Structure 1
Amino acid sequence: MLLAICGTISKVLHSPLWSVAPGISTKLEELPAMHYWIREFRLKCRKSSPESHELLFHLWTSPVYMPLMLNLKNLHTFVAVGPKLWTGATTNTFLSKTHTTLFRTLSKLHTLRELVFKDWSVDLLILRPFLICPPQLYSITFVDGFALDTPNTVQFSIPTSVPSPFLNNLTFVHEVPKLQHILPPDSLQSLHSLRLFYLALWGTTDAISFLLKNSSKSLRSFVFETKPAPQYPQWRTQQAINTLFDSWDMSQMVALRSLQVNVTATNKMTVAILERARTLPIEELTLNVKLRNERRDFRRHDLADVDDVFRGTGFQSLRFIRMVCVEAPGLTQAWEKMQELLPYLSARMRGIIRVDIIDYPH
């Protein structure tokens, strides 16, 4: 179906794709101006099957659908939604026949700026041309999906004529693909915004290190929110933190102006980041504060290590602090609880603090 909002037409495709593509092409022929109206294309697959997974590939390589995609003269955003499915045999068989066409088609998408993968499992081998070939791509988002780092019997190289992208925004929710295996490091040197939401720290440090090590000097906005991992002993969590900071020098983030972290009673990573951020030129700081765990409300001593970070003369450039209270009963109660849990921060930064309330976002 076609959806027109403020001059933007968004196409949502439901499997099977081949049943609707001819109708879309007919509409475009009848009204050529539509080639310029469509700015966002959504591929949504409801069924978990090899055929639905292959739609992502066929869309850019099939002689039926490829002309349709290349005729979208103002395509800005491509969104792929579900399903979580992967078959290695399908990947290798398909790419062995179509990889040249895939590279060539994606390299012609001069208006494509943003890629979004949601609930989609995809092999790193498949992901690589999507991240590298579109010449103007600057934003990539992964939401509740992941890229599988699996052995493949077929390997493909990117043509030398394809330059590295200059990425500006990267967002990951729950999972970080092992981009160090497929993305050139220099493509991250233009990165301005890196948002990592609700990640499991253990097992992802190599991928996170790759992102941070190659983008630190250019980053202006950084979100780092980890999820608790009670199944791991504290020494393993500390080991993951040490591993990350062994390869990431946070003092190089000289352009950073906005930082967002989450605060819980067991989040040692937050304290480690805040301690290293004290001397950075950060102007806006967002703290997502959870007021209780599954057993009880937090007490002063639970967040004392976070509060202690704000003692002394650090954070001299701060102009605004947003304290987001997760699942608080009301603003007044939230502010009172903040003063109880983080008394030094609340007193020192009182004139620039704003308290908001949200439901648990993840």
Structure 2
Amino acid sequence: MLDYVELEAELDDEERSYRDSAREFVDEHVRPEIAAHYEAGTFPEEIIPEMGERGFFATSLAGYGLPDASETAYGLVMQELEACDSGLRSMASVQGALAMYPIHAFGSEEQKDEWLPPMGTGQAIGGFALTEPDHGSDPSRMETRAERDGDEYVLDGEKRWCTNSPIADVLVVWARDTSSEGEPVRGFLVETDRDGLDIDSIDGKLSLRASSSGEFTMDGVRIPEGNVLPDVEGMKGPLSCLTQARYGIAWGAVGAARDCFEEARAYATDREQFGKPIGGFQLQQDKLAEMATRITTSQLLAHRLAELKERGEMRPQHVSMAKRNNVEMARDQARVAREMLGGNGITDEYSPIRHMANMETVYTYEGTHDIHTLILGQDLTGIAAFE
């Protein structure tokens, strides 16, 4: 596997173990069938318990039976999962970073005890609900409302593009608390068997097809006051979750690009034209050299991000740069790899065209490429372009 400047030589035993476990899991349990799932538009739900058993959910969180591994170990898991398919990494990202993380960071002890152990093992599935039909890049204008009624809250509204929601047991729903002054945004744990909650799968996707994507409406959904995340108010809550998920995406995109490179390199050294392997021609070598360089620079950025995160020095803007750069890199290199495979590259026998289509989604979700550009622009100039 491409590791040109030997970054993985610096891994400790635990990190190496997580990398190898994720790589083995993908190769033995997912890769053989992932193209069929992509074509069918389904997620292989049967693998979820094994993912939990191997510690792939919230790998770096501590307590409640969770792995408490390093941030690098978590990144490596995301890298190996996305080397198979973005849908696989998305499921783990949402479970760990967008559902388990807010409960771990902002939940009550009762909420943590109830949800984190079964979610960590994959016995319970979580979703994250922030985006709405009319509010994506500007979620602070969300229209979903939660109104207090005695010792309960009543939720009304619509959410869209919620990964895992069709298979979830609980959703972390972000809504405006109309019972409080200023109507602050708060997090609400909504079990999916609640009356008034109607979840639909989003079908017809031409990207990220091997992923369970959903939308739902809430019409008078009642939850007890104990389902409110007590330790956060405002957009800090959902945005801090997105920072965690984007960190994993920065690693995952490297995995997708690396898989494209390995497919292209293998093809170039095996496929013969004009009397020799096509990898012997200068044009193909130029493409491989550029791919390896772009992937390596993104690997360096991911590993540096892990160092900063481990020390508590990582800022959201650091994550914006890494997500923006690494996903754009993977998007570009998937296209180059597909090109090197010629006509064969448009079939499901090879992964680059699947990665290429998936990267269109990853380029857009968790903050679009353009929004991350503006986040960096504000950080560099002190002037907000979107206000």
Q: TM-score range with shorter-chain normalisation?
A: under 0.3
Larger relative contact order (CA 8 Å, sep ≥ 6): 2
Larger of the two Rg values belongs to structure: 1
TM-score normalised to structure 1 length: 0.22
Q: Which has the higher strand share?
A: 1
Q: Between Structure 1 and Structure 2, which shows a larger proportion of helix residues?
A: 2
